[in-house]
Structure 1
C-alpha cells in the first residue's frame, strides 16, 4: 500500500502536486506580469526601485490578514498563488490595454483629455478590472468547484486576486507620481485605501461561492452576476467620488466601511455554519474510533484547535502537531463534504471516494498525535 500523502488527501487529488491547469495559469500570469511592467515602466519612468518597495511594503500585513481568515479550512497554496498571479499579471495587462483603448478611442475624442480620464476611471475601469479579476474566480467555479465551500472561500480568493492587481497597479502610480507628491500618493493608496480592490473583488467572490453551493438544477448565473455588479458599483463609486471633493470621498469611505463590516458579519456567520456542520456530522463516526466527543468539542473552536496543537507540539514534538493539524483540516473537509452531498452536489459514489481517504487520514493522524 503506498504511503498516505496528507496533502493529496486534503486536496482531494491523487497527488499533492499542482495541476497542469494551475501551472499553466501561473506561467501565463508571470509572462503577462513581465509584459505589463515593461509597458508601464516605459522610457522616462523614474524612481522604479522606490515605487516597487512602497507597493510591496503593505503586502505582508494584508496577506497575513487574509490568510488569518483561512485558518478553519485552509485553501490549497497553489490555488492561492494562481489567484494572486492572475490578478498581478493577466488582469493587469488586459485591463491596462482596454482602459487605454477606451480613453484613446471613446472617451478622449468624445469628452476631451481631462473629462475623458475621469470617465475612464469612473465607468470603464471598474467594469473592465472587476470582470477580469472575477474571471479567475469563475474559472475556480468551473474547474475546482469543490474548493468553494462558502462565502469565506470566495472572500479569500477574491482578495488574493485583488491584492495581486493592486500591487502592480500601485507600482505604476508611484513611479509616475508628480514631483513632490510621492508621499501623498502612497498615503492615499497604500495607507488610506489599500482595501479598495480586495473589498470589491470579495463581493464577486461571495457571488461565485454562492453559485458553487447552489443545489443541483438551479442556475448559477444570478449569484455570480449579482456579486460582480456589486463589485463594479463599489469600484465605480470610489473612482467617481474624487469629482465631489472631500464630501464625495467621505461618502465613498462610509460605503466602504459599511461593506467591510458586512463582510465581517458574513465571515462570522460562515464560521458558525462550519462549526455547526462539524457538530452535526462528525458524531456519526464515533463508532469508527476516529472521532470522540472531546474531539468534536476541540474542533468546534479555532482557539481550542490552536491550544491543542500547541499542547501536542510542546509535549510530543512538531511531527505529532502537524498530524493534529491534518486531523483538524480533514475533519472540517469531511463535515463540508456532507453538506455538499445534502445539497445534491456530490453523487454517492463520489462522496464515498472522497470520504474514505479523509477517514483514513484522520485515523493515521489520530494515532500519531495520541500514541
Structure 2
C-alpha cells in the first residue's frame, strides 16, 4: 500500500485518518452555527452587516499570522480546528457564562447594570474567555505534543483561536452597535484600535504551552502553561478595565500591550534562528546517505532560498515537482525538530520516534526522486536522486 506523505508530515501514522481533529471540527462548527443563528434571529438584517464587518479584520490578520508559519507549516486541519474552536466553542460558552455572571450580579441587586457590566468585563470575562480559549491549547499539550515544536507553534495556534473568537464576538458587538447608532465608534475600537487583543492575550498561553511541550518531565512542564494563562488573563483584564479611565487608561493598556507584542516578536525571531541552527546541526548527519547536501542546507536555512527552490522545481517539472520540493523542505525541517525533541525529552517512546524518523527520511527520498524525475534531462541541480528504501509499515 502506498504511504501518504501528507500523513507523515502531519505527524499521523500512515493510513490512519485524523478522527479526533475531524470530530473536533464538526463539534466546533455546530457551536459556531448555534451562536450565529442566535445572532441572526436577534439581530435581523443587522446580522449580515455585522458578519461582513467582523470578517474584515480576519481577512487582514489571518494571512499575517500564517506568514509566521512558513518555516515549519502546521497541519491545515489543526489550524482550522483551532480557529473554529475559538469562533465556535469558546465564543458560545463564553457568551453563556458571561451572561450568567451579569445576571447573577444584577438580579441579586449586588450591583447596577452598568457597574455589573464593568465587573464582568474586567474580572469575569478575562478568566472565562482565556480559559476557554486555552482549553484547546492544553489539549494539544496532552494529545498532540509533537505538533508544538517551539514558541512559534504556540503563538500560531493561539492566534488562530484568538482570531476566531474575536470574529464571532465582533458580530455580536456590531449588531448591538447598529441598534444604538454607535457602529462607527465600535468598529474603530474593535477592528482598528484593538484587533489583536484576543490573539495577543491567548498567544501568551500559547508560548507557555509550547515551553512545556519542549521541556522534560518536571516543574517547568507543569507550571509554564499556567504562567502563560495567568499572563493572558492579566493582560485581558488590564485592557477591559482601562475603559473606565478614558484615554489615559486606554493609552496605558495600549502601551503594555505594545511591549508584550514587541517581546513576542523578539521571541519569534529567536525561535526561527533556533530552528535554522537545528537544521544546520542535525541534517548533515544524513549527508552520507545522500539525501542532504551542503547546498540543501543553505537552501533549507533561508526562506528566500526555499522559495527559489520551489520556483526552480516548478519551472523544471511543473506543479507536481513543486509539491515534491515543498514536501522535501517540510520533511527536512520536521526531521531536525524530531532530533531535537528526542534529545531534550526522556519520556518519549523511542520506537515511535525512530519510526517517525524513518518515515520522514523516506518522504525526503521520495520527494527528491519525484522532482528529479520530472526534469527533461539528467539532473544538474544540487538536489540529486538517492536510493533510500521506504521504512517498513507497522
TM range (shorter): over 0.9
| Shift, 1:226, TM fit | 0.3
How far is 1:193 from its partner?
1.1
Structural RMSD (CA): 1.6
User: Residue 223 of structure 1 corresponds to which residue in structure 2?
Assistant: 224
CA displacement, residues 121-175 of structure 1 (integer Å, 9 cap, x when unaligned): 0110000000000001001111111000000000000000111111010000000
* Whole-angstrom CA distance in 1 between matches of 2:370 and 2:48: 49
1:160 matched residue in structure 2: 160
Q: 1:38: Cα distance to partner? A: 3.4
What is the TM-score normalised by the length of structure 2? 0.90
Following superposition, the deviation at residue 15 of structure 1 comes to 3.8
Q: Which residue of 2 aligns with 1:73?
A: 72
Deviates more, 1:75-84 or 1:30-39: 30-39
Contact (CA 8 Å) 2:204, 2:229: kept in 1 or not?
A: yes
Q: Per the alignment, do residues 170 and 18 of structure 1 end up closer, same or farther by CA in structure 2, a change over 3 Å counting? A: farther
Residue ranges of structure 2 left out of the alignment (5+ in a row): 373-378, 380-394
1:64-103 alignment, distance < 5 Å: 64-103=63-102
Distance 1:70 1:42, change over 3 A: same
Shift of 1:369: 2.4
* Cα separation, partners in 2 of 1:18 and 1:131, compared to 1, 3 Å: farther
How many aligned positions are there? Answer: 370
Kept in 2: contact 1:282–1:335 (CA 8 A):
yes
When structure 1 is superposed on structure 2, of 196-205 and 17-26 the one drifting more is 17-26
Contact 2:90-2:132 within 8 A present in 1 as well:
yes
Q: 1:104 to 1:65 in 2, by over 3 A?
A: same
Structure 1 residues 301-324: Cα deviation after superposition (integer angstroms, max 9, x where no partner): 111111111122123321111111
1:144 aligns to what?
Answer: 144
Q: Paired residue for 2:125?
A: 125
Distance 1:61 1:17 in 2: 35
> C-alpha offsets along residues 261-308 of structure 1, whole Å, 9 cap, x if unaligned?
111101100000000000000001101100111101111111111111
Counterpart-to-counterpart distance in 1, 2:7 and 2:88: 28
Q: Does structure 1 retain, via aligned residues, the 8 Å contact 2:43–2:175?
A: no
Change in 2 beyond 3 A, CA 1:32/1:159: same
Structure 1: gaps of 5 or more residues: none
Residue 358 of structure 1: which of 339, 360, 381 is its match?
360
Match of 2:310 in 1: 309
Q: How much has 1:33 moved relative to structure 2?
A: 1.5
Could you tell me which residue of structure 2 aligns to residue 367 of structure 1? 369
What CA deviation, in whole Å up to 9, does each residue of 1:81-117 have, x standing for no partner? 1111111111111111111111111366212111111
Report the TM-score, using the length of structure 1 for normalisation.
Answer: 0.96
Matches within 5 A, 1:30-41: 30-41=29-40
CA distance in 2: counterparts of 1:347 and 1:364, whole angstroms: 26
Check conservation: 1:18, 1:78, Cα contact below 8 A: no
Residue 329 of structure 1 aligns with which residue?
Answer: 330
Distance (whole Å) between structure 1 residues aligned to residue 348 and residue 356 of structure 2 = 10
Q: Structure 2 vs 1, CA of residues 18 and 198 (structure 1 numbering), >3 Å: closer, same or farther?
A: farther
CA contact (8 A) 2:122 2:241 kept: yes
